[in-house]
Amino acid sequence: MVDAFAEDEEPISLPLHASSDEIGRVFNEHAERRSATLRASTERAIRDHFAEAHDGQEPPERIMR
C-alpha cells in the first residue's frame, strides 16, 4: 500500500503577499504533480506484477475514459 501523503516531500512555498488565486494555483499544480507521480508509480507496480504473475501474457490494454 502506498501512502501518497507520507511520500510527498515536495515543499510548498508561497509568498507572504500571495493572492487567493495564486495560492489556489500553487496548490493545484502541486496536486497535479503528486497525482502524476502516484499514477506512474501505480502503473509501474501493476506492470511489474503482471510480468511476474502472468509470465508470457501480454498485459491488457488500458481504456481511457
pLDDT in tens, 20-59: 999 999 999 999 999 998 898 888 888 888 888 988 887 7
Q: How far apart are CA 16 and CA 26, in angstroms?
A: 13
Q: State phi, psi for 15 to the nearest 5 degrees.
A: -65, 150
SS3 33: helix
Q: Name the pTM for this structure.
A: 0.68
Per the CB < 8 A criterion, the answer to whether 60 and 20 are in contact is: no
Predicted local confidence at residue 50, as pLDDT: 87
Q: How far apart are CA 51 and CA 54, in angstroms?
A: 6
